[in-house]
């Protein structure tokens, strides 16, 4: 029962829902999530930690960078929730701006962090 409580607590925040929807499209690093949602690194990391503890996302380290992706659903409830993200939320206008931000998010390495490229 506690796993379901943790699951619904993790899903009860607008930013975490947006992160899950972004991750349903592809694996992302923290800096891409920051840029897409226009949030701080600390806020992105805090929400990703909640999602990780709920068992919804997994993390992969590549040098200094942490990449997040959705885990495979562990039960029927998670399968239905992830299907809902793919089928319903992605089509919602509310999330289109965030999804477009990820598509436009081209990063280059600079001064020990990822920085968004500026159009000249």
- For the chain, how big is the Rg over CA atoms in Å? 15
> What distances in angstroms separate CA 63 from CA 15, 29, 60, 102, one per listed residue?
26, 12, 10, 22
| Residue 60 included in any domain | yes
Q: Residues with Cβ < 8 Å from 22, sequence gap 6 or more?
A: 28, 33, 36, 37, 98, 99, 102
- State which residues form the domain around 80: 2-103
Provide the Cα torsion 13, 43, 40, 117; round to 10°.
-80
pLDDT at residue 111 is higher than 50? no
| Residue 45 included in any domain | yes
CA distance 71 to 79: 10
| Residue 117 included in any domain | no
Q: What is the pLDDT of residues 43-54, one digit of tens each?
A: 999 999 999 999
pLDDT at residue 98 is higher than 60? no
| Residue 90 included in any domain | yes
| Residue 11 included in any domain | yes
Element (H, E) at 68: strand 65-70
pLDDT at residue 41 is higher than 50? yes
**Any idea what the CATH number is for the domain that residue 88 is in?**
1.10.10.10
Q: pLDDT: is 3 or 38 the higher one? A: 38
| Residue 16 included in any domain | yes
| Residue 116 included in any domain | no
The total number of structural domains in the chain stands at 1
| Residue 110 included in any domain | no
């Amino acid at each position: 029962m506690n796993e379901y409580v943790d699951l619904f607590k993790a899903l009860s925040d607008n930013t975490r829902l947006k992160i899950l929807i972004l991750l349903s499209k592809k694996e992302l690093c923290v800096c891409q999530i920051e840029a897409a949602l226009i949030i701080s690194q600390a806020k992105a990391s805090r929400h990703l930690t909640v999602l990780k503890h709920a068992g919804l996302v997994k993390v992969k380290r590549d040098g200094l960078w942490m990449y997040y992706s959705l885990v495979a659903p562990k039960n029927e409830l998670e399968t239905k929730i992830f299907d809902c993200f793919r089928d319903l939320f992605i089509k919602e206008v509310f999330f289109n701006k965030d999804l477009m931000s990820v598509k436009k998010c081209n990063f280059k390495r600079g001064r020990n962090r990822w920085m968004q490229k500026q159009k000249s």
